[in-house]
Structure 1
Amino acid sequence: MTEYLIIIEKAESNYAAYCSDLPGVIATGATRKETLELMNEAIEFHLEGLKAQSITIPEPTTTAASVGVSI
């Protein structure tokens, strides 16, 4: 199983997500859980389309880290 990092952002009334390794793949939902589910579906759909067109599926390269700061 390949894992892609997604970024989830809280908006005023919903959540939005995107995947840096798969440009154009986005999802929005009312909750974080719904957004994760929709993003999973969007990634699977995108990868199926790439396969159908015989386009190489990009390897995940994006990583993330958190840093602590004093404020």
Structure 2
Amino acid sequence: MKYLVVIEETKTGFSSYSPDMDGCVATGRTKREVEKNMKEAMEFHLEGLRLEHQETPKPHSYSSYVEVMA
């Protein structure tokens, strides 16, 4: 499955989260590192849900850009 991941630049690198997976977050010094760490965090999160016999969250978020006058 594909999940939306939001990546934000911070003072020390990058942070990420997925609106579709509550509490699943990751950080990294580079974009590549945060993406790798988030993928691993999401896989770990989903495995934990499976082990606890909980439902796997379905992807429901999407992204869009809106142009406004600034």
RMSD: 0.8
The answer for the alignment partner of 2:54 in structure 1 is: 55
Q: How many residues align?
A: 70
* Gapped regions of structure 1 (runs ≥ 5): none
The answer for the alignment partner of 1:39 in structure 2 is: 38
The TM-score with structure 1 as length reference comes to 0.93
Structure 1 segment 1-71 matched on structure 2, within 5 A: 2-71=1-70
The TM-score with structure 2 as length reference comes to 0.94
> Percent identity of the aligned residues?
37
* Gapped regions of structure 2 (runs ≥ 5): none
